[in-house]
Amino acid sequence: MLRGLTTVTYFADDVPAAVRWYAAVTGTEPYFVRPEEGPPAYVEFRLGDLQHELGILDRRYAPSAPGPAGAGVVVYWAVDDARASFARLLSSGATVHQEPIERGPGYVTASVVDPFGNVLGVMANQHYLDVVGGLVAG
């Protein structure tokens, strides 16, 4: 059975540039840098209430997959305000993938394409806050 999200990996042709961008938009520095000769090929950040991992991997190690570029999964990161987070990502150099959409009361999603070609989703969701509140209280 699935027990939860562990690591989301995004790919970049320029890992140091991706690290700088994600450090700026997340307000945190990587906690792990795989030692390499020259620029790192892989780094990890720990983010959010449950310290999920965001990995940045040099695109040369990305698995090849059939289908159009950008096809597949969108991972949504929990935020307090999806519209404000969307606007901040755009002002940081991301481009629109999907404008903010209200999916129901207290539930808004949006997504951008980061400067490295990855889709980054943000979600404000009261259910998430209720679950995390229960974990913190328990």
CATH number at residue 49: 3.30.720.120
- CB neighbours of residue 100 within 10 Å: 19
Q: Which two tokens stand for residue 61?
A: 């190690």
> Contact 60/15 with Cβ under 8 angstroms?
no
Cα distances from 63 to residues 2, 40, 92, in angstroms, run 22, 18, 28
pLDDT by residue, tens only, the chain of 138 residues: 656 677 899 999 999 999 999 999 999 999 999 877 778 889 999 998 888 899 999 988 877 655 555 556 688 898 999 999 999 999 999 999 999 999 888 889 999 999 999 999 999 988 777 877 777 666
**Do 41 and 102 fall within a single domain?**
no
CATH number at residue 128: 3.10.180.10
Number of separate domains in the chain: 2
Residue 7 has a pLDDT of: 87
**Do 31 and 56 fall within a single domain?**
yes
Residue 130 has a pLDDT of: 81
Q: 125: which DSSP letter? A: E
**Do 27 and 77 fall within a single domain?**
no
Q: Which of 25, 129, 12, 114 is nearest to 60 (CA)?
A: 12
Q: Measured between alpha carbons, how far is 59 from 11 in angstroms, rounded to an integer? A: 5
Using only the alpha carbons of the chain, give its radius of gyration: 16
**Do 2 and 58 fall within a single domain?**
yes
| DSSP 3-state of 24 | helix
Q: Measured between alpha carbons, how far is 30 from 45 in angstroms, rounded to an integer? A: 4
Q: Which of 92, 67, 73, 69 is nearest to 9 (CA)?
A: 73
Domain containing 3 equals: 1-62
**Do 89 and 57 fall within a single domain?**
no
Q: Residue 120: inside a domain, yes or no?
A: yes
